[in-house]
């Protein structure tokens, strides 16, 4: 995960430049989003828990789901544990 994490980037959307900083701390991704709009400064904070593939699968099974596919990005590319920027799981309810 750390080898695919983009630690700092600037993104422009709708004429606003966003500075996004990310780090991994205590099994969480911590994201700071900083920008300015109409002369006012904004700073948002996001914290997302990281889970292993085994943990995700165990949670799904507990609630009656079965993993069907895993994608590695928003374009639904193949998942590679060492290289993929995302881990997108597709589950199906077991009947």
Residue range 64-77: average pLDDT? 96
Element holding 54 (H helix, E strand): helix 53-62
**Mean pLDDT, the chain, as a whole number?**
94
Paired with 29 in beta bridges are: 24, 48
Residue range 38-61: average pLDDT? 95
In the prediction, which pLDDT does 9 show? 95
In the prediction, which pLDDT does 1 show? 61
Paired with 19 in beta bridges are: 10, 34
Residue range 33-56: average pLDDT? 95
> Whole-model pTM?
0.70
């Amino acid at each position: 995960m750390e080898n695919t994490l983009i630690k700092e980037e600037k993104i422009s959307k709708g004429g606003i430049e966003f500075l996004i900083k990310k780090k991994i701390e205590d099994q969480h991704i911590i994201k700071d989003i900083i920008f300015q709009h109409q002369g006012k400064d904004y700073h948002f904070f996001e914290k997302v828990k990281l889970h292993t593939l085994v943990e995700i699968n165990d949670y799904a099974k507990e609630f009656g789901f079965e993993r069907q596919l895993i994608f590695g990005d928003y374009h639904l590319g193949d998942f590679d544990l060492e290289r993929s920027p995302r881990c997108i799981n597709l589950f199906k309810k077991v009947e």
